Amino acid sequence: MNKNELGYFASLVKEKVGWLISGDDLFLISAKVDNIIRKYGLDDTQALIKEIEKYPKSFLWTVIEELAPLTTWFYRDYKVVRDVDDVLFPFLQEQNYSTKKIKILSLGCSTGQEVYSVAMSIKKKIPDYKNWNIELLGVDLSSEAILKAQKGSYSEFEIQYGLNARDMIENFKSDGDNWQAKKELLKRVSFKRANIYKDNVSDEKYDLIFCCNVLNTFTPEAQKEVMEKIYEHQVMGGFLCLGVGERINGLEEFYDSSNMECVYKAKYSAGKKTSRVFSDTDMPTFERPESLRMIKKM
């Protein structure tokens, strides 16, 4: 792939999903483009570009999804997990005790391990969770990742990457070469396909939002736009979790730091917001219809 062809794909993902492709990322993009060419039986990069331009409402998004990073594992960032488990869940449990409702959103959830990790933590940290209405929604650009997350089936390698034996046995069951999430765990989560850069991913307000190791791949301009959208989905004084060491453009405008390294608190007043709602009608949507409820009230 020549420099102009690399530039084409870098511009494409920057425009559609806000990603910044540079340095080592260029090599990864080049390798992924080669895989796409082989997968769809095309002659070369120019043939791929022609297909993209010929089918901008379908094949374009197929290619973008193929280029998406999907790296994740259970309980990925220990510092985030520790702070959420030991500080945020007890705080939210006390703060929302009168309503017994907690809404949690995971942006860039990939194949779902983060969402299931949160669901398992809730089970351990909120003893009477069955008496609560806790909604847990995962959102990702990739329809393939969302399908895998909805199924809740993971390979031996995936299930052991971050999970201890006790969590495995309590929440998953062996299914041939894979491990399948048990029904009790599946019914407590939901997933939706959406482009967090362009789409309004939800009409709800959330007590806790995870956006870990996602925005560091975005351009500074896209980071700030997404940060504003995240803030608009946050309840007053709600919490945002980022990945360890992430420094995101626009964060300080909408959030205050806390005594936890990766956790930020939404400002009660972040100045005048534009209240924009993005919608990319070219991108097909894919949503699991039922919303999560741990157990309906009797």
Range of the domain at 278: 78-287
Categorize the per-residue pLDDT at 283 as very low, low, confident or very high, splitting at 50, 70 and 90.
very low
Residues 61 and 108 in one domain: no
pLDDT at 56: 83
pLDDT of 19 over the 90 cut: yes
Residues 52 and 147 in one domain: no
* pTM: predicted TM-score of the whole model, two decimal places: 0.86
CA neighbor of 32 nearest in space, from 15, 48, 11 = 48
Average the pLDDT over 214-221 and give the result.
Answer: 94
Task: From 67, 90, 112, give the residue that closes a domain.
Answer: 67
pLDDT at 271: 53
Does a structural domain hold residue 293?
Answer: no
Does a structural domain hold residue 159?
Answer: yes
- For the chain, how many structural domains are there in total? 2
pLDDT per position as a tens digit, 271-280: 544 433 334 4
Residues 152 and 198 in one domain: yes
What is the spatial distance between Cα 212 and Cα 204, in angstroms, rounded to a whole number?
20
Average pLDDT, whole number, for the chain? 87
Does a structural domain hold residue 73?
Answer: no
Give the burial class of 259: count Cβ atoms within 10 A of its Cβ; 0-12 exposed, 13-18 middle, 19 or more buried.
exposed
pLDDT at 287: 44
pLDDT at 298: 29
pLDDT at 89: 94
pLDDT at 276: 37
pLDDT at 188: 93
pLDDT at 168: 93
Token pair 């540079």: residue = 22
pLDDT at 285: 41
Categorize the per-residue pLDDT at 120 as very low, low, confident or very high, splitting at 50, 70 and 90.
very high
Residues 165 and 280 in one domain: yes
Q: How far from 129 is each of 88, 93, 98, 123, 186, CA to CA, in Å? A: 15, 9, 14, 6, 15
Share of the chain above pLDDT 70, in %: 90
Task: From 46, 67, 88, give the residue that closes a domain.
Answer: 67
pLDDT of 148 over the 90 cut: yes
pLDDT at 263: 94
Does a structural domain hold residue 270?
Answer: yes
Does a structural domain hold residue 86?
Answer: yes
Residue 47: which CATH number?
Answer: 1.10.155
Residues 7 and 95 in one domain: no
Task: From 45, 67, 89, give the residue that closes a domain.
Answer: 67
Q: Decide: 47 and 54 in contact? Cβ < 8 Å.
A: no
What one-character DSSP code corresponds to residue 218? B
Does a structural domain hold residue 294?
Answer: no
Residues 155 and 48 in one domain: no
Residues 187 and 237 in one domain: yes
Residues 182 and 107 in one domain: yes
Residues 138 and 254 in one domain: yes
Categorize the per-residue pLDDT at 78 as very low, low, confident or very high, splitting at 50, 70 and 90.
confident
pLDDT at 46: 94
pLDDT at 136: 97
Average the pLDDT over 3-24 and give the result.
Answer: 88
Residues 251 and 225 in one domain: yes
What tokens appear for 235 in the block?
Answer: 């309840």
pLDDT at 295: 28
pLDDT per position as a tens digit, 224-255: 999 999 999 999 999 999 998 899 999 999 99
Does a structural domain hold residue 298?
Answer: no
Residues 109 and 63 in one domain: no
SS3 content of the chain, % helix, strand, coil (to 5): 45, 20, 40
Residues 18 and 59 in one domain: yes
Does a structural domain hold residue 297?
Answer: no
Residue 161: which CATH number?
Answer: 3.40.50.150
Average the pLDDT over 68-92 and give the result.
Answer: 89
Sign of CA dihedral 83, 84, 90, 92: positive
E strand or H helix at 192: strand 190-193
